Amino acid sequence: MTPSGYYDEEVAGDLRAQCDRVIENWPGVAHTTMFGCPSYTADGTLFAVVSTQGVALTRLPDDDREHLAAEFPVEPFAAGARTVDRWAVLPPATATDCDLDRYLRASYEAARSV
């Protein structure tokens, strides 16, 4: 799979738009592309990636990850043969059912403190 194959606007566009709305006024946020996917940095540190897999929260603190995983399925980020276990991926259905704002904010705040 080529990097651009990790994101399809038809599949994940609504999720990307939801993330855009949530973070649009947060200070220090920049939109970028990683693995061909819409991604977000806080003061230069990656905190979220939207892919066809869902929303990958790259800096989610352990307590928040445990809380989230207790209620919803959380998967690692897969990029071809590489898996990033530390990143908590919320599949699209989970991202719409959980308090996505809370978890995006937690990953964002952790990225800002790096």
pTM: 0.91
Query: What average pLDDT does the structure give for the chain?
Result: 91
Q: Given a cut of 70, is residue 2 above it in pLDDT? A: no
Q: Given a cut of 50, is residue 71 above it in pLDDT? A: yes
Q: List the chain domain ranges.
A: 3-112
Q: Given a cut of 60, is residue 19 above it in pLDDT? A: yes
Could you tell me which residues come within 8 angstroms of residue 11 by beta carbon, excluding any fewer than 6 positions away?
52, 92
Mean pLDDT of 15-34: 96
Tokens 């719409």, residue? 96
Domain 3-112 has CATH 3.30.390.30: no
Q: How far is residue 93's CA from residue 77's CA, in Å, rounded to a whole number? A: 16
